[in-house]
Amino acid sequence: MSSRFHPKLLTVLSEGYSREEFLGDLQAGLTVGLVALPLPLAIAFAIASGVEPARGLFTAIVAGFLISALGGSRVQIGGPTGAFIVIVYAVVARHGYDGLAVATLLAGIIIAASQGRDFFGLSMEAVPPDFLEKIAEYAHHASSMNPWALSIGAGTIGVSLFWPRVTRRVPGPLAGGLAADLWVRYSRDRERDRA
């Protein structure tokens, strides 16, 4: 094999790959698969590109396997996010890496703000697209806040943050999501039993 092409997978296997490392990688893969939902994103990219949804699904699976098998890094992550490269390139070219860091932070704040209606359980028809309008509408509908929705959202964040103190074998975000799902199912079953 040429020294120019030496996949990291071969290096890892030749150095030794323990059971603990495999279980950690498996756990990380499942977490990313559940949290990031790469397959629906791949299907959406396919639809936006004008091809059949199945082609996006196959592409994500094959590309993910090839990235993992032939990649040059032990911690490489691959997924259907290629559409963002144009945006990232434009930000870096115009504002540099510091600008990219600021843009990433602002994007995180805007994404978090878009979850306000669901996090607080607000009764409102639609969420305005503009950030300041969102905040104003949330304030206007604050009296409709659902304490159960807020407790589930806050509880999920709490479990995610404090779970590593219990164990690091299961990632906090995964534990928080599972706890929220179980609580919602439990509450729904109790309501159904009362009816």
Of the ranges 4-8, 135-139, 155-159, 173-177, which one carries the lowest mean pLDDT score?
4-8
**Side chain identity at 92, as an amino acid letter?**
V
Split at pLDDT 50, 70, 90, the class of 134 is very high
Could you give the residue ranges of the DSSP H alpha helices within the chain? 8-15, 19-35, 38-48, 53-70, 85-113, 116-120, 131-140, 147-166, 172-194
Q: How far is CA 124 from the centre of its chain?
A: 25
Going by C-alpha positions, the residue among 65, 71, 58, 66 that lies closest to residue 9 is: 71
- pLDDT for residue 2 is more than 70: no
Maximum Cα interatomic distance, the chain, rounded to a whole number of Å: 69
State residue 135's pLDDT score.
93
Q: What mean pLDDT is reported for the chain?
A: 81
Q: How far is CA 165 from the centre of its chain?
A: 22
State residue 188's pLDDT score.
84
- pLDDT tens digits, residue range 87-114? 767 777 888 878 888 988 998 898 888 8
pTM, two decimal places: 0.53
- pLDDT tens digits, residue range 143-160? 999 998 999 999 999 998
State residue 84's pLDDT score.
61
